[in-house]
Structure 1
Amino acid sequence: MKGPLLLLGGIALFGLLDANSKLLSGAYPVGQVVAMRYLVLLPAFFALRGLYPGFGGTFRTARPWLHALRAAAMMLSAGSFFLGFRHLALAEGYLVFFTSPFLILAMAALTLGERVPAAAWAWCLVGFGGVLLAVAPKLGGGGSLAGYGWLMLGTLAFSVTQTVNRQLKGEAGLAMLVVGPALLGLVLFGPLAIRDWVAPPPLDLAMLMLNGLIAGSASVLTALAYRHADAARLGPLGYAAMPVSGLLDLAFWGRLPDLPTLLGASVIIFACVMSERVRQRAAAAQGISGGKRCAPSAPSGSGTTSRTALSGRSP
């Protein structure tokens, strides 16, 4: 149970990160909030590296341009999710985010040449239908439309990150995956933070700094989870983000998900599960027809799963 418990802890922390950012979004600009996250995360990483020499592994890489693309996508995702949650409840935002498996499926087919069964594409359409089911009744207000737009952009950027993660699966260590995006975050959002700086009272300053610690802790917990269990076991637990977001909406804003949100979430989650089952069956059939067993899921502690966990969002 160690792997599932670690993953659930990471998901809960990612939910807290989004809730904390939403609480700050009404008074502070995006540049200040995101820059403060990395301003805290970088010293925390190097403090751990000082306490545990070699923590995070090497900074050398054979694919610097892929790391640059990953870092840029992470920055777009971080800013977009912050701006999106300014307009929407957490549960509604996660509804859009849950379309990421379908986007990753399409990107893997286009950029990595992976074969996708026709039935999996059909379930993708069903999943996006679930989004429309939940979103359509709420598109009357401009704020909602802007929120959904930002979250769709953030989800697209997150999906790019995940696709790049799969291309970086052969590299060891976490240092480049943490420090590279953090440095880019300071370069991009630091000037915006200086330009638009709002002097925070002590409590708000603590909340701004807490964002960096929560983000780093959530990523580490999620990475550790995959060292104790494989992706097949942990993957479905990612949907725990939906009840977590609902509970946070209730706790901080006294808001419960409405019926369209619940119905849309049910359709999306069901479509994701069915799409993955279709892919697994197709892979199994291909392995049998080729006279060999299918390749197993990434082993515990592998680079593939660790990089997925450190993408900056919940699985």
Structure 2
Amino acid sequence: MDVAPLHPVASLAQRAPGRGAMLLLALFALAWAVVEGVFGARLQLHYSLMQVVWCRYAVHLACLGLLVGWRAPSRLWRTRRLGFQLSRSLLMLVMPASFALSLAAGDRPGTVWALFWVAPLMILGFARLALGERVPRWVWAVAAIGSGVAAVMAEPALPRSLAGAVLPIVMALSFSIYVVMTRALRDEPVQANLFFTALGVFALLTPLMPFVWVMPNLHDAALLAGIGIVGLLALWALDRACERAPVAQVAPTLHVHLLCMALVEWGAAGEAFTHRDLLGAAWIGLALLALWLWQSALERTPAT
């Protein structure tokens, strides 16, 4: 029985891996926006960022245990690159820590995000240097357009200190290296990649929990669980995207997160779209449409 029509996304991913990877990155961006704009924004009590991150990865590990571990637990930790896996996991702690420290240094969130969104350009650079992936000039151009539009949409102010300027770049670096390392792990089982991503952060933060723990109420406990579940979906989509196509081919798709955040904020908080938002969304949409149409040409050329 031919089941391909029942799975149009999977079928597209097989026939056009670049476009399949773009769809998976769009899913990652949407899930990330839901984590931030829906679950995170509705927490009623004040929690340290470290507690939120710990809860996220505790739920992440519990879900993996329920989905995979109860049948074959060893599938979760079976890897040929243990040191590489754990090193990659640390980047998922560096990223939120850099964000929190940036805000503590006095930066506005818009300033942090404006600097962070150079990340797709960094991914292209690291993919070229570390993986030897070929990056066509027009992919650089699409990434540059997205990063420029992101800076305008975020309405940044000047950083208030050197730390305020450096920490968002550290945040972008940690995310960019994580994506490139995920591509390097494309031959490893996805469940092992997801397990070690959570395990390193969970193990490092667990000793800190007695000092920062605030008991969540039932409402917040449900939201923290939602952060973990949707966060796991986001990282699964990112892992699968990096498995299917070179990141140098699809990295600018990450800018769709800006569109997802605008939609989430409009739907959840009722924030009106500004002319800047609409113009930025149009630019990003056109750039990503061009990237989508060029995927077939990319797949006909050597990736490295």
Q: Residue 15 of structure 1 corresponds to which residue in structure 2?
A: 33
Whole-Å separation in 1 of the counterparts to 2:251 and 2:144: 21
1:129 matched to 2:148: yes
Q: CA deviation at 1:30?
A: 0.7
C-alpha contact (below 8 Å) 1:130/1:267 kept by paired residues:
yes
Instruction: Name the % identity.
Output: 24
C-alpha contact (below 8 Å) 1:119/1:278 kept by paired residues:
no
Q: Which amino acid aligns with 2:219?
A: L
Q: CA deviation at 1:236?
A: 8.4
1:186 matched to 2:202: yes
Q: What secondary structure sits across from 1:189 in the alignment?
A: helix
Q: Residue 65 of structure 2 corresponds to which residue in structure 1?
A: 46
Q: CA deviation at 1:178?
A: 1.9
Q: Which amino acid aligns with 1:67?
A: Q
Q: CA deviation at 1:2?
A: 3.9
Q: Residue 78 of structure 2 corresponds to which residue in structure 1?
A: 60
1:245 matched to 2:264: no
Q: CA deviation at 1:213?
A: 1.8
Q: Residue 73 of structure 1 corresponds to which residue in structure 2?
A: 91
Q: CA deviation at 1:29?
A: 0.5
Q: What secondary structure sits across from 1:255 in the alignment?
A: coil
User: How big is the alpha-carbon RMSD for the aligned residues of Structure 1 and Structure 2?
Assistant: 4.5
> Pick from 43, 54, 64: which aligns with 1:24?
43
Deviations 1:14-36 (A, max 9, x none): 32211222333971111110101
Deviations 1:7-62 (A, max 9, x none): 566554332211222333971111110101112221221122355x2378362333
Structure 1 residues 190 and 131, CA gap change in structure 2 (3 angstroms):
same
Whole-Å separation in 1 of the counterparts to 2:123 and 2:159: 29
Q: Which amino acid aligns with 1:254?
A: G
> Pick from 221, 226, 230: which aligns with 1:210?
226
Q: Which amino acid aligns with 1:212?
A: G
> Pick from 47, 53, 69: which aligns with 1:34?
53
**Equivalent runs, 1:83-94 vs 2, <5 Å:** 88=109
Deviations 1:225-272 (A, max 9, x none): 899x97899988766534432222123333234333444454456556
C-alpha contact (below 8 Å) 1:117/1:279 kept by paired residues:
no
C-alpha contact (below 8 Å) 2:116/2:169 kept by paired residues:
yes
Whole-Å separation in 2 of the counterparts to 1:191 and 1:157: 23
Q: What secondary structure sits across from 2:77 in the alignment?
A: coil
Q: Which has the higher mean CA deviation after the structures are superposed, 70-79 or 17-26?
A: 17-26
C-alpha contact (below 8 Å) 2:76/2:191 kept by paired residues:
yes
Gaps of 5+ in 1: 288-293, 296-315
Q: What secondary structure sits across from 2:43 in the alignment?
A: helix
Q: Which amino acid aligns with 1:100?
A: A
1:162 matched to 2:169: no
